[in-house]
Amino acid sequence: MNLHLNIMAKPFTITTAIDYVTAEPHLGHAYEKIATDVMARYMRLMGKPVFFLTGTDEHGTKVATTAAKHNLTPQAYADNIAASYKRTWGELNIIYDRFIRTTEADHTRVVQHIWQLLLDKGDIYKADYTGQYCAGCESFLAERDITEDGLCSIHGTQPDAVSEENYFFKLTAYKERLFELINKGKYVQPEFRVPELLNILENLQDISVSRPVSSVSWGIPVPNDPDQRIYVWIDALSNYITGTGYLNHPEQFATHWPAACHMIGKDILKFHALYWSAILMAAELPLPRMIYAHGFININDAKISKTVGNVVSPQALMRRFELDTPDPVRYYLMTLCPFGQDGNFTEDDFKAKVNADLANNVGNLLNRTLNMTKKYCGGVVPQLDRQQSIQINKTEQQVSLRYEPVSEQDLEPIKAAMAQYQFQRAAESIIHLVDRGNKLVHNAEPWTLHKEGKQADLEKVLYTVLDSLRQVAILLSPFTPELCDRIWQQLGYAPGTLAQQRWGDVLGSAIPGGQALQLAGPILPRLEDELVGAAGKKN
């Protein structure tokens, strides 16, 4: 698989799935948004202009029903939940460029335009339909979606037998083009999901793209047919082109479409890879360059579910461990498992991973190096050329210590992993640079060099580690922007200047000799055991 991104191409547009406003955001929602934010930050680090789109899906029967239970209008209820998503993404330091809501007037205009375009082309027709409808999915189910017991394979509930007159989209007219597109193996990632789509294509059917008002009252009206509402496949999926400016901002749309990546969950891959791709084909609009279907985050080996009662919000997790930054949550979710696979969250694993990588490894290397620099060099970066390798003859052990500076070869695994959306592997490669720094301190023993009066060798070691920490702050910043900014400022840089760094600065710049360090204590205290007990789980 080769997903290396051409960073000299047009601006990098990345989108998330839009979240349905029937529940507050949880770790599963956060997982996708954090991954998208990490990639967006990485591309900015690479010098690319970025457009990051996210938002909420706000129409449908479930929204109207849930709103009624809260004694609210559907719009008022959607306003509240959309605000909750925005607030949560802000608390997780997710920096998007556009938050689209499907109840916006601009979106209604786009959806009705696409509808009329497809209708005029003959790709939408009206017909009677009888089928099994799942209220949880808000979708008619095919035979493959129903278990042997006659239940929805996703929700485990009995679907309703429904007969109604709807409009249909001629999905089957695009079967051959879809097969050619999917079979190439690059459009859908990870590639192991392709056979599932090819299997669906074997028995492809046209899809319902409207519902009668008697079934779905809260939705966008079908043009010239007030008794019908436009269904989710055209309504929700069209958010991607509304959000990038289609019809309403043509110059912006020409700049930011097609998207480089649709980041979605594996459960909605069919709708994006097949339905949405065919709708774009019918509308004669460019397709996204890639659809990436990530796995799920399970909680203690169980799928996140309100019924099971294992829903965990990012804010609750931060409160439980008394975190003053979302970065441990961001880092843990991105390193929990190979991206694309399912991951399993447990509090104990969260604590162990954060303590090992961030508090102990990165944090301790920073603290001990800053303190030694304060003690042995007056708290000022030594004057040295960081391009020099370090070779120290240790008298007592009669050994020669040699350390080579970080090279382009060391950075290649990070770039290769990020090009393949393998966040876990990229983070591991960055942490390996921290390991090298810790190993250098352990082997060189700056305190011994001081006792032996080897000030020049001592300064070589401290300078090299300080500059390595500068490099780590840049490289790790897409994952943990706040913690890296704390590192950056303790290294003596001005607040806010880390965001100005680019990939070329990792090797192309160096920490200035003579720069005064700003010691401010641990960037992240260790997560304590007592916060993981039964009392913590009650919160």
Tens of pLDDT, residues 284-326: 999 999 999 999 999 988 888 776 678 899 999 999 999 999 9
Domains of the chain: 347-508 (1.10.730.10)
pLDDT band at 163 (very low <50, low <70, confident <90, very high): confident
Helices in 16-173 by DSSP H: which ranges?
27-45, 61-69, 74-91, 105-121
Q: Give the pair of three-digit tokens for residue 127.
A: 């017909």
Residue 148: band (very low, low, confident or very high) from pLDDT cuts 50, 70, 90: confident
CB contact at 8 A, 385 and 467: no
Asked if residue 168 has pLDDT above 50, the reply is: yes
| 3 pLDDT above the threshold of 50 | no
* Model pLDDT, residue 131: 79
Residue 1 has pLDDT above 70, yes or no: no
- The per-residue pLDDT for 535 is 37
Structure tokens at 232: 């989710």
CB 133 within 8 Å of CB 160: yes
* Banded model confidence at residue 473, pLDDT cuts 50, 70, 90: very high
And the tokens for 80?
A: 């509240």
Lowest mean pLDDT: which of 158-162, 169-173, 519-523?
A: 158-162
- From CA 310, how far away is CA 298, in angstroms rounded? 9
Residue 365: pLDDT band (50, 70, 90) is very high
**Mean pLDDT computed over 51-75:** 97
Number of other CB atoms surrounding residue 221 within 10 Å: 17
Q: Is the pLDDT of residue 404 over 80?
A: no
How far are the Cα atoms of 128, 190, 383, 505 from residue 195, in angstroms, in the given order?
32, 11, 58, 42
CA distance 281 to 112: 17
Please give the pLDDT value at position 195. Answer: 96
Lowest mean pLDDT among 142-151, 168-177, 223-232, 386-395: 386-395
* Amino acid occupying residue 116: Q
Residue 387 is predicted with a pLDDT of 58
H/E segment holding residue 417: helix 408-419
Instruction: Tell whether the model's pLDDT for residue 444 goes beyond 70.
Output: yes
The DSSP code sequence of 154-181 is TT--PPEEEEEEEEEE-GGGGHHHHHHH
What is the signed CA dihedral for 185, 186, 188, 192, rounded to 10 degrees? 50
Q: Exposed e or buried b for every residue in 425-458, given b needs 16+ CB within 10 A?
A: bbbbbbbebbebbbebbeebbbeebbeeebeebb
Residue 466: what pLDDT? 96
- Give the end-to-end CA distance of the chain in Å, rounded to a whole number: 43
pLDDT top residue among 152 and 117: 117
**188 in Cβ contact with 273 (< 8 Å):** yes
Q: Is the pLDDT of residue 531 over 50?
A: no
Give the C-alpha separation, 235 to 58, whole Å.
Answer: 10
Distance CA 237, CA 256 (A): 17
User: What does the pLDDT average to over 260-273?
Assistant: 98
User: Which residues are identified as catalytic?
Assistant: 26, 29, 134, 137, 152, 155, 303, 306
pLDDT band of residue 538 (cuts 50, 70, 90) is very low
In the predicted structure, residue 207 carries a pLDDT above the cut 50: yes
Q: Radius of gyration of the chain from Cα atoms?
A: 27
| Per-residue pLDDT at 389 exceeds 70 | no
**Which segment of 142-146, 164-168, 450-454 scores lowest on mean pLDDT?**
142-146
If one counts every other C-beta atom within 10 angstroms of the C-beta of residue 517, the result is 21
pLDDT of residue 405 exceeding 80, the answer is: no
